[in-house]
Amino acid sequence: MEPMIRYPAVAESFYPSDPAELETCVADLLKNAPSDDLEDKCIKAIMVPHAGYDFSGPVAAAAYGTLRHRSFQTVLMMGNAHAYRFGGIALDGHETWESPLGRVPVNTDLAKKLRESCPEFIMYSNTAHYSDHILEVQLPFLQLSLKPGFTLLPMLFGENPPDIYHTAFKLLRDVLGPDDLVIASTDLSHYPSWNDACTIDRKTIRFIVQKDIQGLEKHAKETLQQGIAHEVTLFCGPDCIKTLLQLADHFGWQAKELSYANSGDTPLADKEAVVGYGAVAFYEL
C-alpha cells in the first residue's frame, strides 16, 4: 500500500523543483558555507531560518554544514505555524515527507507517543502542515547533509499561552534519544531597516547563545516598545526557540553562532524593509 505522503507545497517558489537543479543549489550552498570548529563536537540541535533559498540559503547552509556526513535517528523539526491558525501543537499524520530529492519516513511511533502523552495540547493536523513552508524548506538540506536512514518528526506550534514552551520542553525531554537532532525553524527581525535589523538581531542571537529566555523576552518587549520603524516581531518562532533553549539548558548543551545576514544583504531586496536570518548550533562538549 502506498504510504500517506506529504508532498512539497513550496517547491519552485522557495527552492528549485527540478531535482538536479535543487541538488546543485543545495550542494553549492553547503560547499560555500563558512568552516567551523565543531567537527569533534556532538551536535544536538540547530536554529535555522526558513525563507527562500535565494534569501536565507547561505545562513541555513552554515548550520547544515555542521551536520555533513553525520548520522541521526530522528530529526525533530519544530516551528511556529505560518499558514494555518489553530490552538495547540500539531503533529503531521503523514507517513512520509517528500521533496524533489526523494522521500523521508516520519517516525510515526514517536508521534503517537507524543500525542498520547499530552492529548489536551498535541493533535494530528495534516491541514496545519499541508502548505506551511517553514519545515519543508529544511528537508532538502537534511537529505544532502545527513547520512541516509533518519526519520522525521514535524511539529508546529499554533496559537497558545506564552508558557506553552514549558509543556513542549517536558514532553520532548522525556522522548529525545541520544541519536536524535532538534531543529528550530525561525527567522529573526521582520521588516525594519538593514541597520536596525543588524543591531536588533545581533542582540537576539546573543541571548539565544547564552540560553537566556528571560533576557530574550525582555529584549523583545523593550525593542518593540521603542517604536522602531516597521519592526513587527523579533522572531517568528518564539515557542520553538524557547523550547530549544530550555532543552539546551536542561541537557547542558553549549551554543555557538554560525552565521547572520538579512534579506538586505541580497540583491533581491532593498535595505529599508528586511527580514533577519540567523544560524546557531547546540552541542555537547
pLDDT by residue for the chain (285 residues), tens only, comes to 567 999 999 999 999 999 999 999 999 999 999 988 999 999 999 999 999 999 999 999 999 999 999 999 999 999 999 999 999 999 999 999 999 999 999 999 999 999 999 999 999 999 999 999 999 999 999 999 999 999 999 999 999 999 999 999 999 999 999 999 999 999 999 999 999 999 999 999 999 999 999 999 999 999 999 999 999 999 999 999 999 999 999 999 999 999 999 999 998 788 999 999 999 999 998
Contact 264, 271 (CB under 8 A): yes
Amino acid identity of residue 277, one-letter, is: Y
- Per-residue confidence (pLDDT) for residue 2, from 0 to 100: 63
Compute CA distances 184 → 47, 187, 242, 271, 281, whole Å: 5, 10, 9, 26, 10
Full strand arrangement of the beta sheet holding 122-124: 122-124, 89-91, 151-157, 74-80, 181-185, 42-48, 276-284, 254-262
- Can you give the residue ranges of every domain in the chain? 22-33+42-280
Q: Which three cell numbers stand for residue 5?
A: 505522503
Torsion sign over Cα 79, 258, 152, 168 = negative
**Full DSSP string of 210-249:** TT-HHHHHHHHHHHHHTT-TT---S-S-HHHHHHHHHHHH
Contact 191, 262 (CB under 8 A): no
For domain 22-33+42-280, give the fold. Answer: Protocatechuate 4,5-dioxygenase; Chain B (3.40.830)
- Per-residue confidence (pLDDT) for residue 185, from 0 to 100: 98
